[in-house]
Amino acid sequence: MQSIDRRRFLAASATLPFAGALIARGEQGVQPGKFAPAMSGREIMRSHYFPNVSLVTHDGKKVRFYDDLLKDKIVVLNLMYADCSGVCPTITSHLITAQRILRDRFGAERFGRDIFFYSLTVKPEEDTPRKLKEYAKMHGVVGPSWLFLTGKPDDVDLLRGKLGYADIDPKVDKDKASHSGMVRYGNEPLAQWGACQGSAKPEWIAEEISFVIPRDSKGKKEMHG
């Protein structure tokens, strides 16, 4: 595992609803059964923040959020919707560039194997798999390592809330055009998670995501050397 700047990592993670779980993961000394059964950081994250709802990819494949998309993977997540004329195209473009930077530095073979990008629509009632596929094609997103996702509105709303994307003001949250521009990224097996602004420079986004990407088992050089 690469060296991670703890101060920067936790600072980036502070915007997440589950930031406390990241810190709690390192606490030791609580005896199992004395206050509560011992749980690993990974188990805490899964049980509290990753509902295993059913979603559909832009290729029409049914998947489970935790079992199929998160488990044993390094992931990058963002919100969008196909007809967005605001921040969505900008963030998509920035993530395309960031992904290219990461491919060059960590190896293209890892994308679609253990590193994945996921874009979740905030308008599942409008964004069919076909519409999301057209959006992906229009913006030049290719390959199996990036999935655009839709699902039942209630499931998508539950997922947004658990991931910290829902606004605390119901009136603001109801306006899907003003959805969050934050990008979530994480190493699910190691329970390491962080966030950055999707409208930031792609180079900075790639740098942030790299904090949770360990050295390839084949010895691929890390971004941080």
Q: How far apart are CA 42 and CA 209, in angstroms?
A: 19
pLDDT tens-digit readout, 129-175: 999 999 999 999 988 999 999 999 999 999 999 999 988 888 888 88
Banded model confidence at residue 37, pLDDT cuts 50, 70, 90: low
User: Which H or E run contains 19?
Assistant: helix 19-24
pLDDT at 219: 38
How far CA 158 is from CA of 13, 164, 177, 185, 193, in Å, comes to 21, 10, 18, 19, 19
Q: What angle do CA 18, 19, 20 make, to 5 degrees?
A: 90
pLDDT of 207 higher than 50:
yes
The backbone region for 119, taken as left when phi is positive above 0, alpha when psi lies in -120 to 50, beta otherwise, is beta
Which of residues 58 and 171 earns the better pLDDT score?
Answer: 58
Which of residues 57 and 18 earns the better pLDDT score?
Answer: 57
Closest alpha carbon to 81 in 119, 45, 41: 119
pLDDT of 91 higher than 60:
yes
pLDDT of 176 higher than 80:
no
pLDDT of 71 higher than 60:
yes
Q: How far is CA 189 from the centre of its chain?
A: 14
Domain boundaries, the chain: 7-24+40-210
Q: How far apart are CA 72 and CA 116, in angstroms?
A: 11
Say if domain 7-24+40-210 classifies as CATH 1.10.10.10. no
pLDDT at 223: 38
What average pLDDT score do residues 67-83 get?
A: 97
Against a cut of 0.85, is the pTM above it? Answer: no
What average pLDDT score do residues 189-218 get?
A: 91
Question: If you average pLDDT over every residue of the chain, what do you get?
Answer: 84
Banded model confidence at residue 87, pLDDT cuts 50, 70, 90: very high
pLDDT tens-digit readout, 97-108: 999 999 999 999
How far CA 6 is from CA of 29, 39, 121, in Å, comes to 21, 22, 32
pLDDT at 173: 81
Write out the two tokens for 72.
Answer: 């044993």
| CB within 8 Å of 107: residues ≥ 6 apart | 216, 218, 220
Which of residues 17 and 178 earns the better pLDDT score?
Answer: 178
Q: How far apart are CA 152 and CA 158, in angstroms?
A: 10
Write out the two tokens for 68.
Answer: 């199929």
